[in-house]
Structure 1
């Protein structure tokens, strides 16, 4: 890549002289429907740079007169429902971590942090500019990405690079470099190489201050004492210690503008997981948050600030070089006199070393410490400290066909008992036709991660899974094939079976991107504690009882390229205590391009337990409106009617991005009783943030 010969103006036109001397990256390869040919829709990309920015322009051609397809101008849109283009920067060329920037055909931005070789965290939000201009036969994307926005090693002149394009009308997804169809185009194992004419310039002094001012009013209609109106101030700072290591600071942070969690029907015996959305915890967040497995996380950042105020925090994270990554986090929370919760300090340290082509070894230390804490008689007791240490080996083969993990964890608390450790591992093989995996977990009954997410303890688990795909020719079906899976939970000594599920499915994917799947499963559950199967306050089954059942179901998703999209799932069969359960879900969406997206989701459960609590029925319904007047002004409004917990929630959020990464938020939230729509709680928040590069 050559330095720009003249100044570049980001307007989607790309007529400056500086673009004429750049090389063209074209000749994209098809990834979907099949990865065996050149792309049919043409894409041409150019890149250049100056002292402050990397510039990219992409010309995305399509048949003349063909309308583009997008959901709305909402930021971080759904990839599968938009014509789009994005680029991936693997700035350390380690084929594991990177940055992704892109737009849909209407110009809405999409950006995220890349981790684990092919995953993108879209909650990350940073400062860059772009423009899109539409023509009868193409759209042109132009962007400036500041060197201060990304992290890279000074003096290194080779980066990993790839481009991805999706055209829904032709059902085609393509990439600059060939990528096997079973992997996403965001697979860093298959990036090409960006060669600089000279190493990229240093970002220079890189300090950003992000202050906020907030006014809020919260009212609880059932408790007149909880009527609070307040003003608050605080902010974050981002300080680049080097071009590849960043320090994040926060004082009196507030996350009220973060979109509330979507409610779900909870028929599970264990705690549910909701992902982290708060910006402060996101950069290099995979170092901390992805340690372990989805249900064995020694660190889960949502445990910090859960119902308590965060006073301040600091994070240092990034790359020492191509092989080493580090992360260190310190957070301080305030006390809560009403519950006698003391001030607490959280320390998390992570170290990661690359081994082989893409694999790595990681170490993690987590410490939660109560400060100046003396338990009082009759008050809730809290632990003086809780600590976790862990080590893991992550396998990522050079061609991405083999992945796996080997994990060890141990916890420490006052009076720790034996069996306070975890040992787990898995191995997966994934090529175009076969997906085969196996996983084993040993989780001690006294393993205690107070700052983690481990909903179940005291078990050994074995999971085996295999799937195969057929690719017929000359039909409307692109691929089809079976998947079989078996999961068994045993007690620690392997002398007693706790649960098992045996599952068989058959899936079809059509060339127009419709998908359909049918499955059947058998389940066995040995209850370890009393359980209300409906989770609605009715009669409970006793611990130690045994339950068997069979069930079947279907899943359908319509063509994503249509203005009207829909999908459904069904499940019918046995349930606890010789009962039955019918579950039906439906999702309906309609887009008014490019300004609005309407959606409706519905979930119905009919549970009949004739020997326990009889018939129970409940709905979870959630209409949603995304209104995007421009790509800087967004209104999101959704309602959630949850019959299971007897609540109606209304949430509206207006966001005005008056400058890059600087926003005004107005958030209004109501909770109602569903019987008479009497208000339970009401909140109004106005928050102003400003991103200032010092």
Structure 2
């Protein structure tokens, strides 16, 4: 613990903290109450819009951030007792069609002509909401966290319409006050608007944002000034029941079809204007898209992101503690092998400075897997400090046998409990040039023979040209996080990184520059076990295409036996040392094209003085905005001495997306993974018949490639309805 405290002082003690006023405080947009009803039709014909103040004269962010935007954008806002209104006129700067991928909700930002609103209702420059649309009318909405990141898994009820004209496209939206969280009585919100026009490759913002930061950066928002405090949202209770029916069959084992039907319910209860209670009973996630498969040549467990909606809303409170490979809480552990019976989550703002997150989930007993019923709980409390920083505490626990008689002690496959407690400091300077994190974790598990410890920290600097990051991690050998994601224990890690960007006066190149990093692992006795030294050079063109070339040297001392093909065959012995050089290239084409492509190549050494060659690519075609097709392919060829010899893996994944309207979607996803000898077919039909209310039809098949044989298949029909009480 003393080392952890010392690390915090080293990383942050030398940084001077200023409490200056907000950077873009001078950029203010006045919002007034409507004088007539507003119809969401994409037509600027109401009296309220003619009387509203206009936010215009946007600033260019890219390709340069030193002038006004060439593309004109006008924004007006208004409100009534129940809704916040927005209308945006996006003028064209040159002739030609708009560019979008599809009508699918929560589109990819860089591949669509779009307009986005970033709202900071507490004006704390850390958390907020984002709403927007692309030029074809597909909606975008998400929760903002960490001062500029957007979680697009958040999905709520609001209405919008896009109308296209010869010289402009107009986006009009109505956002219920019940759909967002804000402090009662506050008359100033942080706000900014972002416009991406792919024909000119220009990204712009109303309040100026330096080009090294995303337009979503809440440190650079202006001010939305209310003529009166926004009205209270009023009672906010939503009930979301679901019902489903389906069947599944394990044809490989010759089993008969199994029919199923299920009913459950979610509920959302607003506790004031800034706090929300979510409840779930017998949840089902059969409509969630399948994971994108990867060829696994790693020694450690791979990470697959959470996709279930219940766990994703306000997920930053729970899941952002720690680093990518040191997560004390990872919701995907819940319900992995056992059904979830019920759960509750309290999350949101207590006031401008305090946020809270509390979650508890109960899973059932599974005797055939020797699993007791489990209770998973997490509690986190976050305090805003300094200008844009916060201090967080977290408690994560898994407890066996709660509410259910336990299985015999000699038959269960898990420990009685596993607990983690932690403290984290997230730092961000007022201008966002300096960012960093420091945290400490302590684990408690009766099977480890002791208490585990983690401490880690990093400090990052990002200017217009120079950027660097220094990161250090320590994870003890007996640290456990059974409700987290920590694939490796028993190490020290040091990882410095530095890069530099040149911004030439060129009509073709936006930026280019080198990056250097080295990542070293040591065991707890400070013996080196791994090192990767990586040098790259990246060129970003004004068309938004990107080319990167890199060179790396790897050294690995195996701590456990390892099969370098991950096929379950012969293994290299623990203690053996391996090192090699490798070189590669990456290229991504410009997103404006109807036909897009990307490729990645790698060639060089591998374990046991072998060689590995890898080529992967992506081809995309779209008939905008209704149809898009993507083909991903990945080929690995590994050359080793006997008994492995030459091993090859193909991973192929075509995907088809049909978006007839912004409420009806069809997705077909095929994945052939030679490493696991499987073909997976997942087809999903979704009809959003009302805002946030859906009907899903999902088909899933798994096949043995040769001889072509259906191993198992399932079909599910699911109905959900969002009902406001």
TM exceeds 0.5? yes
> What are the equivalent positions in structure 2 for 1:446-457 lying under 5 Å apart?
446-457=478-489
CA contact (8 A) 1:317 1:326 kept: yes
> What are the equivalent positions in structure 2 for 1:214-253 lying under 5 Å apart?
214-225=244-255, 227-253=257-283
CA distance in 1, matches of 2:73, 2:470: 40
CA contact (8 A) 1:105 1:139 kept: yes
Counterpart position of 1:516? 547
Picking from 548, 558, 564, the partner of 2:579 is 548
- How far apart are 1:157 and its partner, in Å? 1.1
- How far apart are 1:235 and its partner, in Å? 1.2
Where 2:426 maps in the other structure, the secondary structure is strand
1:141 aligns with 2:209: no
Where 2:61 maps in the other structure, the secondary structure is strand
- How far apart are 1:445 and its partner, in Å? 0.6
CA contact (8 A) 1:419 1:445 kept: no
Normalising by structure 2, what TM-score?
Answer: 0.94
- How far apart are 1:283 and its partner, in Å? 2.3
> What are the equivalent positions in structure 2 for 1:277-288 lying under 5 Å apart?
277-288=307-318
Picking from 484, 487, 500, the partner of 2:531 is 500
1:212 aligns with 2:242: yes
- How far apart are 1:49 and its partner, in Å? 0.4
Counterpart position of 2:22? none
1:343 aligns with 2:370: no
Picking from 651, 665, 668, the partner of 2:699 is 668
- How far apart are 1:537 and its partner, in Å? 2.6
CA contact (8 A) 2:381 2:393 kept: yes
Change (3 A) 1:36 1:226: farther
1:473 aligns with 2:505: yes
Moved more, 535-544 or 296-305: 535-544
- How far apart are 1:459 and its partner, in Å? 0.2
Counterpart position of 1:84? 114
Where 1:143 maps in the other structure, the secondary structure is strand
- How far apart are 1:378 and its partner, in Å? 6.3
Where 2:110 maps in the other structure, the secondary structure is helix
- How far apart are 1:682 and its partner, in Å? 0.2
Counterpart position of 1:392? 424
CA contact (8 A) 1:234 1:252 kept: yes
CA contact (8 A) 1:94 1:358 kept: yes
> What are the equivalent positions in structure 2 for 1:607-618 lying under 5 Å apart?
607-618=638-649
CA distance in 2, matches of 1:167, 1:677: 47
Counterpart position of 1:105? 135
Counterpart position of 2:52? 22
CA contact (8 A) 1:179 1:185 kept: yes
Counterpart position of 1:484? 516
CA distance in 1, matches of 2:378, 2:721: 28
CA contact (8 A) 2:70 2:93 kept: no
Where 2:332 maps in the other structure, the secondary structure is helix
- How far apart are 1:531 and its partner, in Å? 0.8
CA distance in 2, matches of 1:34, 1:677: 55
Picking from 202, 205, 209, the partner of 1:172 is 202
Q: Deviations over 1:470-510 (max 9, x none)?
A: 1121352221111000000001121x111000010111111
Where 2:33 maps in the other structure, the secondary structure is coil
Equivalences, count = 693
Where 2:48 maps in the other structure, the secondary structure is helix
CA distance in 2, matches of 1:493, 1:535: 29
Counterpart position of 1:94? 124
CA distance in 2, matches of 1:643, 1:87: 44
Moved more, 380-389 or 155-164: 380-389
> What are the equivalent positions in structure 2 for 1:281-430 lying under 5 Å apart?
281-371=311-401, 372=404, 374=406, 376=408, 379-418=411-450, 420-430=452-462
CA distance in 2, matches of 1:14, 1:536: 62
Counterpart position of 1:629? 660
Change (3 A) 1:252 1:374: closer
Moved more, 223-232 or 253-262: 223-232
Counterpart position of 2:466? 434
CA contact (8 A) 1:375 1:381 kept: no
The gaps in structure 1 that reach 5 residues or longer are: none
CA distance in 2, matches of 1:692, 1:345: 29
Counterpart position of 1:195? 225
Counterpart position of 1:120? 150
Counterpart position of 2:7? none
Counterpart position of 2:92? 62
CA distance in 2, matches of 1:416, 1:169: 59
CA contact (8 A) 1:577 1:611 kept: no
CA distance in 1, matches of 2:50, 2:548: 49
CA distance in 2, matches of 1:478, 1:294: 30
CA distance in 2, matches of 1:419, 1:502: 33
- How far apart are 1:376 and its partner, in Å? 3.5
CA contact (8 A) 2:372 2:412 kept: no
CA distance in 1, matches of 2:137, 2:424: 41
Counterpart position of 2:160? 130
> What are the equivalent positions in structure 2 for 1:646-665 lying under 5 Å apart?
646-665=677-696
CA distance in 2, matches of 1:490, 1:36: 46
Moved more, 529-538 or 365-374: 365-374
CA distance in 2, matches of 1:417, 1:373: 26
Moved more, 57-66 or 134-143: 57-66
CA contact (8 A) 1:213 1:687 kept: yes
Where 1:447 maps in the other structure, the secondary structure is coil
CA distance in 1, matches of 2:552, 2:668: 37
Where 1:148 maps in the other structure, the secondary structure is helix
Where 2:486 maps in the other structure, the secondary structure is coil
- How far apart are 1:612 and its partner, in Å? 4.1
- How far apart are 1:323 and its partner, in Å? 0.5
CA contact (8 A) 2:415 2:447 kept: no
CA distance in 2, matches of 1:394, 1:440: 15
CA contact (8 A) 1:373 1:384 kept: no
- How far apart are 1:64 and its partner, in Å? 5.8
CA contact (8 A) 2:158 2:173 kept: yes
- How far apart are 1:556 and its partner, in Å? 0.3
Q: Aligned-pair RMSD on alpha carbons? A: 1.2
CA distance in 1, matches of 2:177, 2:210: 31
- How far apart are 1:377 and its partner, in Å? 7.1
Picking from 20, 23, 33, the partner of 1:3 is 33
CA distance in 2, matches of 1:64, 1:433: 31
- How far apart are 1:611 and its partner, in Å? 4.2
CA contact (8 A) 2:353 2:384 kept: yes
Where 1:2 maps in the other structure, the secondary structure is strand
Q: Deviations over 1:312-360 (max 9, x none)?
A: 0001111011100011111111111211211111111000001100100
- How far apart are 1:394 and its partner, in Å? 0.4
Counterpart position of 2:490? 458
Where 2:573 maps in the other structure, the secondary structure is coil
CA distance in 1, matches of 2:642, 2:67: 60
Q: Deviations over 1:593-625 (max 9, x none)?
A: 110111001000000012440000111000011
Picking from 232, 255, 266, the partner of 2:296 is 266
- How far apart are 1:402 and its partner, in Å? 0.6
Counterpart position of 1:583? 614
